[in-house]
Amino acid sequence: MAPLARGQSLAVAMSPYGGRVHIGLVADGEAVPDLDALAAALTAELDLLDPPDATART
């Protein structure tokens, strides 16, 4: 997880672990009220690059 610095509205963290890349989003709720929409769009775009395999996800 990436902390927000003073004056920062959005932080994005990426961390590889166990053959996967984990992404974390942290936002100021007032500045970024639709963080869930950003997370959904990010997931959809990443799935286009590497479609999910139902057997690989836990």
Rg (CA), the chain: 13
Q: What's the half-sphere exposure (Cβ side, CA atoms, 13 Å) at 9?
A: 7
Q: Model-level pTM? A: 0.72
Domain positions in the chain are 10-49
Stated as kind and residue range, the H or E segment containing 37 is helix 35-49
For the chain, the straight-line distance linking the first and the last C-alpha, in angstroms and rounded, comes to 20
* Location of structure tokens 């509205």: 9
Residue 30 is predicted with a pLDDT of 94
Q: What confidence tens digit (pLDDT) does each residue in 32-57 have?
A: 999 999 999 999 998 888 777 756 55
CA 35 – CA 11 distance, rounded (Å): 11
